[in-house]
Amino acid sequence: MLEDASAKGMLAASALIAHGRGEAFDYLLGEVTTATALGATREAAARLSGGVRSVISINGNVAALAADDLIRCSALLGCPLEINIFYRTPERMTALLEHMSERKAAVADSPAPTGWSGNGDQSWAEVVSAVRILGDEPNATIPGLEGPRAKCHREGILDSDVILVPLEDGDRCEALVAMGKDVLVVDLNPLSRSAMMGNVTIVDELTRFCANLLATLLEGAPVVSRGWDNEANLKSSLDEIYNNISRTDSSPES
């Protein structure tokens, strides 16, 4: 999927390298969603549902790997998606906007996810069609960032209170936290700056996370925790990697 996205001009050159880093961390996790990650996913679902102006930020890798499920999540949440990329060029933005529009049309045409209980008298196609995909005409900037990477939509990222930023760059994550937003990060490296900076960090592979987020939203959003401790969450994620490696360590094949 990433090779195709790269050929379509959706990705920066470094995007594939970043993906490979994630693959290695997933390998260390045993390529499974851990109990800790599932708990963090449920917390993210609760916060996105409870947000007054939730938004989901989409970069090139996210668009390539998880467009469909995130469009479904946006439809359930009634929140916009905003394409927001680190290396913003007109060509990449056009390729990403086209891809997301295509995927939105495809998701609207496909059956509603199992467990969808409806939304008044709207059909699934209508609910999906109402999802706004922002990014084409940024009219604001994220304070503390410079150049094209600061650009965003006022009605999307700028005025949001809760923001899901899968696979986000550390600087941008920091800037969003500094704006006082509730920042939900998906990152396979529990020691990355984004992971440490976020308010809720889900240490899981993106497509598994999106499937779990969707399932959680379909079940009905859980309640936001009173005392979410993201440091403990990261520590627990790191322990899971550590335990997985030490299990492997005792029996290298020869």
Compute the least distance from the CB of residue 9 to its own copies, in Å: 14
CA 29 – CA 188 distance, rounded (Å) = 9
**Contact status: 16 vs its own copies (CB under 8 A):** yes
Kindly determine how many residues on this chain lie close enough to bind its own copies according to the rule CB under 8 A: 36
Instruction: List the interface residues with its own copies, window 21-80 (CB under 8 A).
Output: 21-25, 27-28
Helix (H) / strand (E) element for 202: namely strand 200-202
Which of 106/191 has CB closer to its own copies?
191
Structure tokens at 254: 């020869």
CA angle centred on 68, ends 166 and 123, rounded to 5°: 125
Compute the least distance from the CB of residue 157 to its own copies, in Å: 25
Q: Reduced to 3 states, what is the DSSP secondary structure of residue 5?
A: helix
Instruction: List the interface residues with its own copies, window 156-215 (CB under 8 A).
Output: 189-191, 196
**Contact status: 19 vs its own copies (CB under 8 A):** yes
Compute the least distance from the CB of residue 3 to its own copies, in Å: 4
Residue from 101, 122, 225, 248 touching its own copies (CB under 8 A): that is: 248
Q: Which DSSP string corresponds to 115-166?
A: T---BTTB-HHHHHHT--EE-SS--EE-TT--GGGGEE-IIIIIT-SEEEEE
The residue behind tokens 């394409």 is 83
8-state DSSP, 254: -
- Return residues touching its own copies (CB under 8 A): 2-3, 6-7, 13-14, 16-25, 27-28, 189-191, 196, 231, 234-235, 238-239, 241-242, 245-246, 248-249, 252-254
